[in-house]
Structure 1
Amino acid sequence: MNPLRVGAGALAAVLLATPIVTAGSGALAQDSHDRTRAEAVEQTALPQVEPLSPPSAAVRFVASEVVQDIADEQAAEDTVTPSDAATLAELVAQTDTAALAPEVRCLAQAIYFEARGESLEGQLAVARVVINRAESDAFPDDYCSVVTQPSQFSFVRGGRIPEPPAGAVWTRAQALARIAHRDLWHSPAGDALYFHATHVRPGWAGRMTARATINRHIFYR
């Protein structure tokens, strides 16, 4: 299980040793052609996807107080029993989505807006990247801060995460967030920290090691 890291003094994160920046791309290491294609995707009914890229040299994470209201989630984890689900779909159907901690809700929103059109495995892999980033010294220390980090998730506007509409798709995303947070199902994405859609070719990808290709996403470390 990968518990959320909390505390009054989050450590300052370590910048990546080699910045990956292309002209005009800012924190997203992606050429203008990739940007054009990504913008085109935004106009479709599919989830909008931008490559999750390494932070640029200009990004610094400063130690600050982090308060996470995860008491209910932690208590639920302490009483969780092993599932007899034979498939991820069965586990999703068995998972209670009531009283999600705020941080786990941010994780669910990332799943919904980045991968709601993907398979369950594809959605779980996106959740795995967010969790891995929260556990890495190179990124913010909690799910919400990872998701709202500037220039990483295109669905975030002005530092705010949109509210998903109620329905089965949102309920499924919440179940997957809880499953990922509690590490109840293995993901081929493994320790991936980055991903991009298969229809783009960001320059930074050549410096990373691919972990898995799941549906329309490629995952890297």
Structure 2
Amino acid sequence: MNVKNQSLTIASVLLLTLTMTACQKQTTVPATDSQAKPVVSTTTENQQVDKDTVADSTESSKDEATASIEQRESTKSFDMGMGDKRTATLKKSNDYSLYVFDGYTLDTTTHRLQLTNNPKYYADIEKLSSDFNLDELRTKGIKELATYGEAKEYKGDQLAEGPMVKASLLLQVSDEKGLYDYIVWEDEQSKDAYIFRVQSPEGKESETFLTPALTSLSSIASTRQQN
């Protein structure tokens, strides 16, 4: 073999060696990808941990919401307007609780809030079923109030910043004989709904009965455990 041919042979061998080496290096790439797979698995595990954390947080929020419904301060101060601040005491029935001012009595058997010294001034509380229809209640309320006169509906700005400003429905008859209300109220936390039937006949107590009574009613909250 002459020198020229030998040089070509050596060059060919070197080229083949480099090519094989390059191919071997390329075959190691999948191995690198394979080694990266546990990272993906770790991310999945972290995601699962995050989901569990969110679930625990959601469950904790539900527990806190339930506690906020069931646990209320035994007394609470209310601003009645014109610098008049009064403290009311929490009273409970099986289904609800509300704050009651001095001079008022809540009968949890008849579900009646009344002026202690004059029971002609009162508000009856009726709990509604969850599938109540507001339009049907409006019609029913108008018929009930027809005994006292023609009912008018008040809402929005007409209620100003009074205790019943958030009422779902407020029908009223007001004349020389007194004031009579038919009110639908929904508890924002539990979504329980109630009808308040309020009677404030003409008399010396008519000017002082209504605001504390309606303030008490607006403080109503469910005492049942939420799911």
TM-score range normalised by the length of the shorter chain = under 0.3
Identify, as 1 or 2, the structure richer in strand: 2
Comparing both chains, which one has the higher relative contact order based on Cα–Cα distances under 8 Å and sequence gaps of 6 or more?
1
Identify, as 1 or 2, the structure richer in helix: 2
